[in-house]
A and B are shown apart, each in its own frame.
Chain A
Amino acid sequence: MINAILSMGGLALVAGLGLGFAAKKFHVEGDPTVDKLEEVMPATNCGNCGYPGCRPYAEAVANEDEAINLCPPGGTATMEAIAAIMGVDPAPMEERAPSVAYIDEEKCIGCTACIKACPVDAIIGANKQSHTVIIDECTDCDKCIEPCPTDCITMVPKEVTLYTWSMEKPDGPHALH
């Protein structure tokens, strides 16, 4: 009996020491989660998620278990990436077509409210001069819509051309035809 206790105890001690040693020696220094999360966000700092920027949202997701489906410009891709990093299930997400802002230049009064609101300087124009959106730089964050006093900004879906088209995935086996 004593032998059994001693030998089992001894084995457990050795195993525990071994695990502890391995945990220290083979420890992998990974990115802090917040940095990883911020990487997968679109960096528009648009505030759609309710946080004053992408990094605060990343911190909230990492530290306070915030919902992962609050980022419309990032879309499903960002939500799934966050899910993968945090090891949680993907959350339902509104599918919205990638859009860009469009300023109706007839209605624009040149007040520069939208220019000030755009976080990536994607609107060009000056005071009392018609404004217009640089389509390539617009990140679909919707921040310019509110400030416009004449409500002349709308989000229009991006046009798919032969050059921006991407092939769809095949239906897969057992597809219910």
Chain B
Amino acid sequence: MGIVASVLKKFHGGVHPEEFKDLSEKCAIEPMPMPERLYVPLHQHIGSPCEPSINVGDMVFKGQTIGRPQGFVSAPVHAPTSGKVVEIRQHPVAHPSGLTMMVAVIEPDGKDTWHKDISGLEDPFKHEPAEIRERVRCGGIVGMGGATFPSFIKMSPPKDKVVELLIINGVECEPYLTCDARVMEEQTTEVIDGIKIMLHGLQTENCVIGIENNKPRAIEIMKAAVKDIPEIDIIALPVRYPQGGEKQLIEVVTGRQVPSGGLPIDVGVIVHNVATAVAIRDAVRFGHPLLARPVTVTGLGISRPANVQALFGTPVQEMIKHCGGLKNGTRKVLMGGPMMGVAIGTLDVPVVKGTSGILCMTSNETTDKPEQACIRCGRCLQACPVSLMPTEMAWLSRHEELDKLQEYNLFDCIECGSCSYVCPSNIPLVHYFRFGKMAIQTADKEKKRGEIAKQRAKAKDAREEKVKAEREARKAAMKAKMAAKRKAAAAAKGEKPATEKESAPAAGGNDKAAKAARAAKAAKAARAAKAAKAAKAGGGTKDAAGDGDDKAAKAARAAKAAKAAKAAKAARAAKAAKAARADGGTKDAAGDGDDKAAKAARAAKAAKAAKAARAAKAAKAAKAAKEAKADGDSQ
């Protein structure tokens, strides 16, 4: 139909790892007991993190919004069950950094009560697509294949683009994972219903569901289900990783390639995961937000492989316990599949919207061989589904040639892992690419910060110039005014000598004395005013004392210095004492004894010296470490 290719195309490269699907493909999705605590992260999607919309101590209901989306590319987070919010804090999550994220810790009350505002659409097909989209958005639905892109955006194509085909991704190309297969086998009607709702939302009538042919039961069941539905077709695909990648799937089904830097809608296609279809159906028909998902717990390291329906926020430890615990010799635990999953170092990380699997691997299944030199065999080029040159990109990453990396299209890499999978030298190629991508992004950020800093510095300079100029102008104006005044006075004096002679004594004796006195008076007033202003401004600036000898200014300065010195001494004594307590580095800890100012000065100097010493030591250590690393790296 439509743009579907009559003969299936092949995508370039790809690999065929051992499937291991038999561990869990016959396990029906089972429920698990409610964990004692749910650690629900407030950022489970691509886009901006959510802001918490609840407080510690609040009672929440099932489906209640606990995280408000920020910005357009974002999705709300909801309470998976009813209970009490006991904490909102940082907690480890499954991320390559091993760092923490903000989570809402919910203690379930066991009643599992829905929020009262939860309601669905009686007949979704009678509603406008905009209404459907809004429900998908409010339901926090994100791509459940693992990408976690907010689904409502993929339901809102731009006005100038036509949706020619909806592809439902039932490929599940990652080895070990079987949750999508089970969804297709057990929730068939829900999947079809969800697809129909999506077709209505997208205003299109063409849909194909791609399923790899290592899932024969799923293909059979789905084919039977869509027998009488002309809009939906099933396509059985040959097994090849990463066929489930959006871009590869589109190429295989339609023969079109998504332009580099573009989106599938640019070639008229929208792709959604099969479990997302079920989630959309639940959100639209019943108003149920995304609260849980099927997770495949598998691997040779788990006692009882299973597909488990897990609430978000369930600690991985609970899931493993439910499946019988880890076997001895478990080497790695992954969140996701073996090709793209994240290895976790601690088992208390929670299940999130993108957790398709928890894979417990023994040393038989995973390797940790050391990296050797690249022998330029070219297998990575043959394996890459994007036709990149992994060997060149890894070389450039290692040598941090960030500009050239972009020339080699580093950002087109989908990080599927096919190249690392085939490398005979065990080079961690994907690790190099991730490092390169982050280095480029960090460099860009630093550049932007530098630009902003430059602008701020310029603005400050301009402002200070302006203030200076104004001051000069005022000074000049005052000078001119004074000169004019004197001139006028002298002129007046010159004009009426008689009257002046009479009032001469009053004015202050002879001309010269009067003039001098008045000048001195004016000067004194001016300086006093200046000193007062300087004192007001708070001091520290040297030019307040620009006049030098004037008594008032001197007195003001002395007072200021005394006050500052006193405060400084107190502060430095406290600081020195603290420093002495902290690391015993500073010498003049006492702060009293001989000359106070000198002592304070010495304390400050010592503190600074200690700080410099510490910094130098740290730098030396870092340098030594770096050199040792460079030595090992240069050959």
Using CB atoms and an 8 Å cutoff, list the residues of chain A in contact with chain B.
42-45, 77, 92-96, 107, 109-113, 116, 119-122, 127-128, 137, 139, 147, 149-152, 160-162, 165-177
Contact = CB atoms under 8 A, between A and B. Distances in A.
Contacts of B452: 137
Interface string B554-574: 000000000010011001101
Contacts of B372: 173-174
B438 interface: yes
B605 to A, nearest CB: 11
B450 interface: yes
Contacts of B449: 139
Interface stretch (B4-12, B72-80, B131-139, B535-543): B535-543
A127 B533 CA distance: 13
Contacts, number: 132
27 contacts: A42-B453, A43-B457, A44-B453, A77-B443, A94-B615, A95-B622, A95-B623, A107-B574, A109-B567, A112-B537, A121-B456, A121-B459, A137-B456, A149-B540, A149-B564, A151-B572, A151-B575, A162-B93, A167-B96, A169-B397, A170-B371, A170-B428, A170-B431, A172-B371, A173-B372, A173-B373, A175-B633
Contacts of A160: 99
Contacts of A110: 538
B604 A151 contact: yes
B567 A149 contact: yes
A172 B574 CA distance: 48
B438 A166 contact: yes
Given A119-B457, A165-B99, A149 B435 contact: no
Given A95-B623, A96-B619, A109-B567, A172 B538 contact: no
A113 B538 CA distance: 8
Nearest to B575: A151
Contacts of B629: 171
A152 to B, nearest CB: 7
Contact of B626 (A45, A95, A165, A173): A95
Given A121-B460, A167-B97, 8 more contacts: A77-B446, A96-B615, A127-B536, A152-B571, A165-B99, A167-B431, A173-B371, A173-B425
B633 A43 contact: no
A151 B398 CA distance: 43
Contacts of A161: 99
A55 B437 CA distance: 31
Interface string B396-429: 0110100000000000000000000000010110
Q: How large is the interface on B (under 10, 10 to 19, 20 to 34, 35 or more residues)?
A: 35 or more
B540 A147 contact: yes
Interface string B528-549: 0000000011111100000000
Contacts of A122: 456
Contacts of B387: none
A93 to B, nearest CB: 8
Nearest to B625: A95
A43 B453 contact: yes
Contacts of A93: 623
Contacts of B434: 167
A162 B618 CA distance: 25
A160 B438 CA distance: 14
